[in-house]
Amino acid sequence: MSDPRSARKPTLEDVAEAAGVSRATVSRVINGVRNVDPKLHAIVWQAVDATGYVPNRAARSLVTRRSGTVALVVSDAVSHDDDPFMRRFFADPFFGRIVGGVMSVLRPKGIQLALQIVGTDEARTRLVGDLGQGQADGAVVLSLHPDDTLPQQLYEGGIAAALVGRPAQPVPISYVDLANDAGGVLAAEHLIGRGCSRLGMITGPAHVPASQDRLTGFRQALARHGHAWFPTVEGGFTYESGETAMLELLERQPELDGVFVANDVMAQAAVMALRGRELRVPDDVAVVGFDDSSAALDARPQLTTVRHPLEDMAAEAARLVLSRIDDPSLRVESVIFDPKLVVRQSA
């Protein structure tokens, strides 16, 4: 074959000719439509092979009105291109784990994943238009901002979509989420179970619903055990903030013997801060993290933590989108995952 770029790519017509049948028959064979003579079946596939035919997606979706693509949309408040937040976001395992989860269900079905980042209202509106036009058949959505309007717009646009994480505002769109409060309960029970009595918590940012829920669950479980009050310090899910928060918590409650930290990265930092204060983990202070990320494994001692099954959740979100594409009349659905406690060495 000469220059493959200039060479005209074989079409259905070419295959048909090579097989001595009509274009329609070839199409049927390729798409696995029944009512085709088994003999032709073989002949056609042979011709496909001989010609090196590959279906043209554009032509196909033009008529089927299906793109065979699902979009993974990251919707953020403000993100010009070199937005430091987005830089951090992409570098965070959170993003990759979701991609991996979504891929695990899309790939076997031969469905494409198209990545979309929308930071402005204009971009959001355009996205909904593009999706409505069929650029993708549906979307798995990561809505990063509490008052993001995208979920509502997707609903109004009639787009098949599923959110990863409960929407801050109630919207008739399917979503998957983690029972974050149950995670808080798990942490509390474990800490109390091992005899801790002077507890504290390093929370995530107050405006993040998941943070709130973790705190709520932790608080309620402690209350059930008679701990009406405990000190909390708000962190920002970063290592730095975890370190600072731990130190502040220690100041507020020097007798501390157990901490629940809203994510592993901060927990890892907390452990280091405690060691810096000559406090042994878990003997003097027990630490429970959240996520079961690599930070939990990389901490010394390794972190006892609450497992956040992000990959599974993202995969389920993809499944929700797919089933809704198949049958748009399906009712809105939410799937809540239960967190599990992973006991290691820090508590």
Partner DNA sequence: TTGTAAGCGTTATCAC
Partner DNA sequence: GTGATAACGCTTACAA
> Which residues of the shown chain bind a second copy in the complex (CB under 8 A)?
3-5, 9, 52, 54-59, 61-62, 67, 69, 72, 81-82, 86-87, 89-93, 95-97, 99-100, 103-104, 107-108, 112-117, 129-130, 132-135, 156-158, 239-240, 265, 268-269, 272, 276, 293-294, 297-298, 300, 311, 328
Angle 168-172-175 (CA atoms, 0-180°, nearest 5)? 65
Name the minimum Å distance from CB 113 to a second copy: 4
With CB under 7 A as the contact rule, the residue among 7, 42, 50, 62 that binds DNA is 62
By beta-carbon proximity to DNA, the closer residue of 14 and 181 is 14
- Residues 166, 187: contact at Cβ < 8 Å? no
Q: E strands within the chain? A: 69-75, 112-118, 138-143, 161-164, 174-178, 199-203, 232-234, 258-261, 286-291, 304-307, 334-337, 340-342
- Asked whether the CA dihedral 51, 56, 57, 62 is positive or negative, the reply is negative
Q: How far is the CB of 346 from a second copy (least distance, A)?
A: 14
**How far is CA 77 from each of CA 146, 149, 156, 256, rounded to the nearest angstrom?**
9, 10, 20, 38
Complex with DNA: residue 7 or 115, whichever CB lies closer: 7
49 contacts DNA (rule: CB under 7 A): no
Among 2, 5, 8, 84, binds DNA (CB under 7 A): 8
Say what angle helices 93-106 and 84-91 make with each other, to 10 degrees.
60
Using CB under 7 A as the binding rule, whether residue 111 contacts DNA is answered as no
Judge contact between 128 and 154, C-beta under 8 A. yes
Rounded distance, CA 220 to CA 204, Å? Answer: 17
46 near DNA, rule: CB under 7 A? no
Tokens of 325: 């594409």
Q: In this chain, which stretch among 34-42, 96-104, 260-268, 301-309 interacts with DNA, using CB under 7 A?
A: 34-42
- Rounded least distance, CB 67 to a second copy, Å: 7
Q: Which is nearer to DNA, 19 or 288 (CB)?
A: 19
Which of the ranges 33-41, 197-205, 225-233, 280-288 carries the binding residues for DNA, by CB under 7 A?
Answer: 33-41
Under 8 Å CB-to-CB from 18, ≥6 apart: which residues? 47, 50, 51
Q: Which is nearer to a second copy, 72 or 182 (CB)?
A: 72
Q: Which CB atom, from 92 or from 248, has the smaller least distance to a second copy?
A: 92
- How are the residues of the chain apportioned to helix, strand and coil, as percentages rounded to the nearest 5? 45, 15, 35
Tokens of 343: 């006991």
Is residue 11 near DNA by the rule CB under 7 A?
yes
Q: Which residue's CB is nearer to a second copy, number 22 or number 294?
A: 294
Amino acid at 187: A
Question: From the list 56, 120, 169, 220, which residue makes contact with DNA (rule: CB under 7 A)?
Answer: 56
Which residues make up the interface to DNA (CB under 7 A)? 8-9, 11-13, 21-25, 27-28, 30-31, 35-37, 39-40, 53-56, 59-60, 62-64
